[in-house]
Structure 1
């Protein structure tokens, strides 16, 4: 039996449609992200830096707190970077291996940035989504509280917390995270105001779903795009904050170190002919920051619904 040309064309189009596999929002965003060369390069660099921080210690010949007393005061000409001596990045002014300390500092700085950003994102998203969804007087009180807290100098509060409760890594994580959530709460509130009037939220309200459940199951998942983008841009900001605190001597304490502390020590020794003490920590600091910025910019483009 011979099919008419119109029927054959219809069957062909039906077969083509059947062969097309639907793509979800995240699959589409992943494809857009992978086509962004700068973002992909930033992601590769971040993976390499993370591998360096996690496994670089296995290639270090010396421990981070090992002191070579024979090099103290003579590191300008005997403690230079050398593969023969095992000091791949040279030694610092105390005769400690700079490669091992850079590995340790990179890991701690990234940990401070990721944990601080995670705390800020979780607290800020829940706070802002709650304020935006409930609205009215509750929203007004919650956001005026945010305005009051934002008027207080951030560094002053963080330094005060470290002085009162002790200079520990936990307090550094807690202080940076719990103060930096304020901007995230404003962003989450603004997005929630536009989401709460959508049809799926109204349907959940009509079926008797509790408000807090709606916030967690319907509002927050629709904030993930902007939250992910903001978190990747917040991590380098946390690293910069930690570096400044370490510069003041209130951050990571010896024998541990961070990139900010290493940069501070290297800058103090620049006039002594030991440029490598500044160059290697500064290199990993800048590379990490730019990689996070590129990844954040790529995620913003990939998750922006206006560009699809």
Structure 2
């Protein structure tokens, strides 16, 4: 007859049983296993440090004109560690390193602020439309359809021409129209979430619709919102760079990567390739890094891949 020893059985059990992993813990581990996304995340961190603290590494402000370098930029304004012009100078004799720091910071801020505006407005609009449904949903979505039929770039250029080429108008123009796609995405997700048991329980207990939207629907849109925001940032940067490339965006003495690329491209035939090369390098690396991080987040959060 076998003897049952409860003490020995307890010793064989794991000291810390697996309590399961949450969705966000699992997503974080999946993201960490994506090498391309992790490399892109490191690149974004380095670019952010360069944009916000790179000015500390130079004595030049990027706005002071050095008249002694005007006309001899191709020979005396070359990149050099000895002169302190790490990226060389532009055609006005201004330090290109300081200008690139300023342009990277401004382009990054425009991308982040523009995407935040789009995500907040679009998520709330789409969640309200999808939850209320019926005629309200139909009317709200028709408004989105009408706005999406208007060429975005045409509206942005028209606003800058009519109300002035200011940084504020650039923020407003990009933020006001970029939320339309987010509204459609949030509305589609809300249509499936509002039929879940926890939402029906909240309705049965008498919770107000606005409270349900803010406390139950919007938090469950977080995964989709984060992924879309990450992919929207490079789109905002491209819009701003294109507008600045046309000369309608950021105005002197401020600058952005688009403005620096535009000025560098106009000087490429004068033997000063660094004026285009350095801003273009940061522009391309930043865009690819955001795209890879966005793809990594989408693969990590998507429950179909779990």
Please tell me the TM-score bracket, short chain as reference. over 0.9
Residues 64 and 96 in structure 1, CA contact (< 8 A), matched pair in contact too: yes
Whole-Å separation in 2 of the counterparts to 1:57 and 1:218: 44
Q: Does structure 1 residue 272 correspond to structure 2 residue 246?
A: no
Partner of 1:214: 212
Secondary structure of the 2:218 match is helix
C-alpha distance in 2 between matches for 1:201 and 1:256: 49
1:8 to partner: Cα distance: 6.8
- Measured after TM superposition, the shift of residue 63 of structure 1 is 1.1
Q: Does 1:120 align with 2:122?
A: no
Q: CA deviation at 1:165?
A: 2.6
Equivalent in the alignment of 1:63: 61
After superposition, the Cα gap between the structure-2 partners of 1:119 and 1:9, relative to the gap in structure 1 and judged at 3 Å, is farther
**How far has the Cα of 1:98 moved from its partner?**
0.3
> Which of the numbers 176, 186, 189 marks the counterpart of 1:188?
186
- Contact 1:61-1:87 at 8 Å conserved across structures: no
> Alpha carbon RMSD of aligned pairs, Å?
1.6
- Paired with 2:152 and 2:3, the residues of 1 have a C-alpha distance of 75
TM-score, normalisation: structure 2 = 0.96
Find the counterpart in structure 2 of residue 29 from structure 1.
27
Q: Secondary structure at the match of 1:19?
A: coil
**CA–CA distance in structure 2, aligned partners of residues 17 and 221 of structure 1:** 34
**2:152 alignment counterpart:** 154
Deviation at 1:307, TM superposition (A): 1.3
CA distance in 2, matches of 1:293, 1:213: 34
Q: Is the 8 A contact 1:124 1:185 kept in 2?
A: yes
* Cα gap change, 1:265 to 1:20, in 2 (>3 Å): same
Task: Assess if the C-alpha contact under 8 Å between 1:62 and 1:100 holds in 2.
Answer: yes
Q: Which residue of 249, 262, 283 maps to 2:281?
A: 283
CA offset digits 1:47-97 (Å, max 9, x no partner): 000000011101122111011111111111111101111110001111111
Instruction: Give 1:160 shift.
Output: 1.9
1:163 deviation in Å? 2.4
Deviations 1:136-165 (A, max 9, x none): 000000001100000101011112222233
> 1:167 Cα shift?
2.0
TM-score normalised per structure 1: 0.95
Which residue, out of 253, 256, 275, partners 1:255?
253
The alignment covers a number of residue pairs equal to: 305
C-alpha distance in structure 2 between counterparts of 1:245 and 1:9, whole Å:
73
Q: Deviations over 1:237-290 (max 9, x none)?
A: 000000011112221110010000000000000111111100000000000001
Contact in 2 for aligned 1:34/1:40 (Cα 8 Å): yes
- Cα–Cα, structure 1 residues 76 and 220, in superposed 2: closer, same or farther, change >3 Å? same
